[in-house]
Each structure stands twice: as C-alpha cells, then as structure tokens.
Amino acid sequence: MNALSLLLTAAVMTQQPAASAARLADLSRLQALLAPSAAQLAGLSGQLAELSRLQTLQAPSALQAADLARLGAVQVELSAVQLAQADGLWDLDGQQDSAFSLWSAARRALNRGEYTNAANLFDDLTRRYAASRYAGDAHYWGAFSLYRVGDDPSLRRALTLLDTQKRRYPQARTTRDAATLRVRILTALARGGDQAAAQELSQAAQPAVPPSVGRDDGRNRPAGCPNADDDDDMRIQALNGLMQMDAANAVPILKRVLAKRDPCSAGLRRKAVFILSQKHGEDVENILLDVARNDPDREVRSQAVFWLSQVPSDRAVNMLDSILRTSTDEEIQKKAVFALSQQQNPRAGEILRAYVERPGVSTEVRADIIFQLGQRRGTENAAFLRGLYARLTDEDLKAKVIFSLSQQGGDENARWLMDIALNEREPIEMRKKALFWVGQSGNTSAASITALVGLYDRMQNTEMKETLIFVYSQRSEPEALDKLIDIVRHEQNKELRKKALFWVGQSHDPRAARLLEELINQ
C-alpha cells in the first residue's frame, strides 16, 4: 500500500516533460498492475468501516490509528486520481496537466471571494499555459474576478480579457456566458459616465433586421428577432443593463430603440417601454405618449398605455382620455382604464365615470371601470356607483357594482346593500349577493350582527335564509353561533336545519359541543 501511495503521489505531483514511447509503455503496464480493482476499493472501504466501528467501541491504539490514517490517505488519493481521469484532466502517461494546480488555486481564491488574487492567478495561467485546456475559460473567470473587483481599471482589463477569449478561444465553454458578462461590465462603466461603454450598450441593443422583413401586426416575428422575455439574447441583456444606469445616460438610448418601427425590433421595444417607465423626466412622458399613440405593434402600444399610469401629469390624463375614447382595441382600452385609475388627478375619475355610461362601450371595459371605481374609496365614486346600479340592465354589471360598493365600506354603502337584500323586487341572485357582501362588511351599523340575526325571521325566501346561515357561519361574534343553534332547534325546514347543524359542527365553541351531545342523546 505504501508503495502504491508513493507511486500515485509521484504521478499526481510531477511536472516533468512527457516520457519517451518506451517509458510510456512501461508506465502503462505498471499502472495496469497497480491500478486497484473494484474489489480492492471495496475492501479498503470495508476496512475503513470496520476500523471506524472498532473506534466507537474502544480508543484505537497508536498502530491502529496509523493504519487508519494510511488507509484514509490512500482512499482519498485513489479518489483524486479517478476524479481527474473522469474529468479529462489526466494525461496518457499519468501526469496531471501542468496548468491544473494553478487553475485549482485560482478557482479556490475565486470561491473564497479573493477576487484580486483570483484575477492574478488566472492571468498567470493564461500567460504561462496559453495552450492548455484551461486557458480559454481562464480568460472568462479572470474577467469575472476583475468585474467583481469593480474599479475602472479592473473593468477595462476585464473587457480586454473577454475580447482575447473571443478572438483566440472561440470554442471555450464560457463564451456564451461571456456575452452576458460583457454587458454587465459595460453597464458598470456606463453608470460611471463612460460614454464609449454607453454607446456600445446602445449598439448591442439594436436589432438586426433581415432585408426581406416587412411590417406586420407584431404576432409573427422573423427568425433571429429578439423576444422581450429572452434573457439569453445579447440585445435584451444590453437593454437590461440600462436599468442600472441613470436617466441621463439611459433615456437617449431607449429613445433610439423605441424610434424603430420594424417588426423585428418589437421585442426590444416592449422591453424598452418597461425600462423607460422606471426612469423619471419630461422626456420619459413624451416618449411614452408617442409610443402609446404611434407604435405599430399592438403589445408595445398597450404596454406604453399601461405605464402611463406612472406619469402624474395633466398631459398624460388627457392622452389616456383620448386613447379611451378613440381606440377600437379593447385590450388597450382596459390598459387606459387601469392607467387612469392610478392617477391622483380628479379629472381621471370624471373620465371613468363618464365613459362607463357611454353608448357602445363593451361589457368587459365597463366591468373594469366599475371595479376600479370601487378600489378608489370616496363619497363621489360610491354615490355614482349606487346611482349607476339602478340604470344598469346587465346582471353581471349589477353584481360588479354590489361587489365594488362592498369594497368601499362605510355605513351608507352597508345600508344600501341591506336595502337591496330586502327588496323583493330585485332578482334573487342580486339579493343573495348583496346579503353575502353585507355580511362580510364587519360591524358597521347596517351590517352589525344584531341586524343580521334579526333578519332571519323576517325572511320568507328559502334561498335567502340559506345565504344568511352561511353569513352567520363566517361571523365570529357569539350571537352568530347562538342564531345557528336556534335555527337547529326551531327551524321547520329540514334542509335549513341540516345546513345550520353542519356549520355548528365546524365550531370549537363549547356551546356547539353541548348541542351536538344533546342531539345525540335524544
């Protein structure tokens, strides 16, 4: 075993020139004789396991401890050889690649976060062993280490390394990752005011339009055109880099991208609209307004309309009003509704309230407006919705109004909901919805548990009583459980009693347990 260990150690650590053909043959035969079989390795593992077991029974003697250490060293050494062979790092004569130790040291430094040291070690490897199998990837990892160092000289050296890798080692495994790293480095430089880096980012973001490509509706993209969701595309990565740049540097680049009108650039324009919306300045508003009105791609226009919600100006509100009134695209109308609902300008609410009653507006757009008005609490919107309910004929829209008013909260809205629930001239479904939502409103005066409990005995309609039983089951007040118990004991309708009993059985209140025991013992 000691001889095998020494031989393997010599094979691993030697960095002598390649042996002659005869020497290679001799070493190969010797290696074949000494190479451990699977059974030998299993035997070693068994001896280790046995020694470990004995170690737990009694303290090992000095001799046992030495044997255990030797066995462990051999096992580790054999594993290292096998791993090196499996990873292709072992030469035919059993010698390790001469760059391996330097590569390993550099990777260890990188893993420890010692970026300057790692960069120096990778640089040493690329200079001393330019023909080794590690040289191509060492350029990438050296550039990555310098990127993590982060100062301007390091960033510029990193770009040089990536250029060298691309020129001399195009088959390296990390070349695809290198494109992404380059964008990150350019972004860092541009953020520091480097105009050349900003210009390269801008150029990288430009789509290559095939000569045969014509205009389309944005649904069919020629092959090779970037997709806004494809983060592996270099152009999309370049645009993502603009997210980290200040508006002064980023907005002009985004403006140039959004000025394009060819179908192949639509994916870039979609991404550019989002990034632009995160910047601030008068130019941002002007560009978004232009894109919302004029971009040939429907999705790009739609995204621009949506992000106008972040532009708090009279001009944006007027543009959204115009889009809402003139667009024939329902999806864009919905985006305009949302954008207006996010504006704090009182005129935005006026526009929505007027538009919901405009002839020819689709049911879906009306429903969106009703929902958004319900999300903006205020007496004006609440009064409008209560009045709108009486003027609507579509039951789905009436149900939307009921829901929106329940979200507004307040005594006045709760009383209105209760009136709908009690109004026998209303459709039963509307009454049930109003009763359900008034039950969810909390302890306002109209929705207090006292009012709801008193309502059961006044109800004649079985469906309304079922809804009330469910409302009681969702309330936490003791009076709600008392009413359910009362229904179980006194309701004449068997089905209603069963429903009430089911919900009593879901309670952990001792009164519920007593009722169940009482019923069982009858």
Distance CA 323, CA 337 (A): 10
pLDDT above 90: residue 403: yes
Distance CA 161, CA 166 (A): 9
Asked which of 37, 66, 86 is the last residue of a domain, the reply is 86
pLDDT for residue 76: 38
Distance CA 159, CA 176 (A): 15
Q: Phi and psi (nearest 5°) for 96?
A: -75, 145
Asked which of 86, 118, 141 is the last residue of a domain, the reply is 86
Q: What is the pLDDT of residues 477-514, one digit of tens each?
A: 889 999 999 999 998 999 999 999 999 998 889 998 99
Average pLDDT over residues 25-30: 44
In a domain, 69, yes or no: yes
In a domain, 167, yes or no: no
Please tell me what DSSP assigns to residue 22. Answer: H
Instruction: Kindly indicate the confidence band of residue 334, based on its pLDDT and cuts at 50, 70 and 90.
Output: very high
Distance CA 146, CA 310 (A): 38
- How many CB atoms are closer than 10 A to CB 506? 9
In a domain, 477, yes or no: yes
Query: Of 142, 102, 153, which Cα lies nearest the Cα of 118?
Result: 142
Q: What is the pLDDT of residues 352-394, one digit of tens each?
A: 999 999 998 999 999 999 999 998 888 899 999 999 999 999 9
pLDDT for residue 99: 76
pLDDT above 70: residue 271: yes
Residue type, 349: G
In a domain, 348, yes or no: no
Distance CA 123, CA 141 (A): 10
Asked which of 28, 60, 86 is the last residue of a domain, the reply is 86
Instruction: Kindly indicate the confidence band of residue 229, based on its pLDDT and cuts at 50, 70 and 90.
Output: low
List of residues 6+ apart from 275 with CB closer than 8 A = 239, 240, 242, 243, 250, 254
pLDDT for residue 328: 86
Longest dimension (CA), the chain: 109
In a domain, 62, yes or no: yes
pLDDT above 50: residue 107: yes
Please count the structural domains in the chain.
2
Q: What is the pLDDT of residues 112-127, one digit of tens each?
A: 888 999 899 989 888 8
SS3 (DSSP) at 438: helix
Distance CA 283, CA 251 (A): 8
For 3-17, 299-313, 437-451, 508-522, which range has the lowest pLDDT when averaged over its residues? 3-17
- Structure tokens given for 81: 């050889």
pLDDT above 80: residue 316: yes
Residue type, 88: G
In a domain, 54, yes or no: yes
Query: Of 96, 88, 103, 184, which Cα lies nearest the Cα of 138?
Result: 103
Distance CA 258, CA 146 (A): 33
Residue 60: domain span: 2-86
pLDDT above 80: residue 98: no
SS3 content of the chain, % helix, strand, coil (to 5): 70, 0, 30
Instruction: Kindly indicate the confidence band of residue 15, based on its pLDDT and cuts at 50, 70 and 90.
Output: very low
pLDDT for residue 420: 93
In a domain, 239, yes or no: no
For 193-197, 276-280, 499-503, which range has the lowest pLDDT when averaged over its residues? 193-197
Q: Which residues pair with 96 in a beta bridge?
A: 90
- How many CB atoms are closer than 10 A to CB 471? 22
Distance CA 462, CA 240 (A): 60
Distance CA 187, CA 199 (A): 11
As a whole-number percent, the residues of the chain with pLDDT over 70 amount to 74
What average pLDDT is seen over the chain? 77
In a domain, 179, yes or no: no
Cα distances (Å, whole numbers) of residue 488 to 454, 481, 516: 16, 11, 10
* DSSP sequence for 210-228: -TT-----SS-PPTT---T
